[in-house]
Chains A and B, each alone.
Chain A
Amino acid sequence: DGGITQSPKYLFRKEGQNVTLSCEQNLNHDAMYWYRQDPGQGLRLIYYSQIVNDFQKGDIAEGYSVSREKKESFPLTVTSAQKNPTAFYLCASSKLIAASTDTQYFGPGTRLTVL
């Protein structure tokens, strides 16, 4: 079945550690996105990528890094520079057609907790 997978589902990190969240899609989508969700909040865009080996900062990129070496994969690293990383992280992908109809589809999310 086509879809987006994220792993792990739950992740615990000690302060000062970097952690990497995995996102893989087999929808043959060109664009991929990372969002952060805090309780009672909407989604905020961290990074997005429209093509392999290229990515753009979103609204809250500080303390995060990404790579896009393969079309299917867009891992997110939460670095020790991120002051408040405890949150729910969602990955999405879309075909990136040049029209407002381009729909993003989401993975199941990773819940990160800093101990």
Chain B
Amino acid sequence: AQKITQTQPGMFVQEKEAVTLDCTYDTSDPSYGLFWYKQPSSGEMIFLIYQGSYDQQNATEGRYSLNFQKARKSANLVISASQLGDSAMYFCAMREGPGRGSTLGRLYFGRGTQLTVWP
């Protein structure tokens, strides 16, 4: 089964508008972390935001916020006030909790959502 599902292959948003990129995850581990990365056309993966499974509040980093709904196993990325430079591929990823021996540290990635911001 897929550990991370991103159901939107592509999204379009007008500059200065907000946009939500969907991510659902699957794990039976009570301790996990959720990450969002941005990949511009240059290819480098840029870390944006992190949410821990025990965090009481939704994570925020500047214009990025994470809408974390634990019961629904969703961790949607919200970008407020979109800019042209936000056009990129966005990946959701999950790391399961500590104490997992040889799998410690590995991330599971979704297939990504291509965001296009238009003027």
Query: Which of chain B's residues 1-58 have a Cβ closer than 8 Å to chain A?
Result: 4, 9, 31-33, 35, 37, 42-47, 50, 52-53
Question: Which candidate, B61-69, B78-86, B95-103, is the interface stretch facing chain A?
Answer: B95-103
**Also in contact, A50 and B105, with CB within 8 A (given A42-B91, A100-B31, A100-B33):** yes
0 or 1 for each of A93-106: is its CB under 8 Å from B? (1 = yes): 01010111111111
Chain B interface SS verdict (over half): loop
B32 touches A48 (CB 8 A): no
Residues of B within 8 A of A74 (CB): none
B50 touches A42 (CB 8 A): no
Residues of A within 8 A of B111 (CB): 40-42
Bound form: Cα–Cα A89–B43 in Å? 10
Minimum C-beta distance from B91 to chain A (A): 6
B95 touches A100 (CB 8 A): yes
Residues of B within 8 A of A33 (CB): 105-107
Residues of B within 8 A of A44 (CB): 109
Q: Find the A residue at minimum CB distance from B92.
A: A42
Q: List the 5 closest pairs (A to B, CB-CB), nearest first.
A: A100-B33, A106-B45, A42-B109, A98-B98, A109-B43
B→A interface (CB under 8 Å): 4, 9, 31-33, 35, 37, 42-47, 50, 52-53, 91, 95-99, 102, 104-107, 109-112
Can you give 25 contacting A-B residue pairs, CB < 8 Å? A33-B105, A33-B106, A40-B9, A41-B112, A42-B112, A43-B109, A48-B105, A48-B106, A58-B106, A88-B43, A90-B43, A92-B45, A96-B104, A98-B98, A99-B33, A99-B98, A100-B32, A100-B96, A100-B97, A103-B47, A104-B35, A106-B37, A106-B46, A107-B44, A108-B44
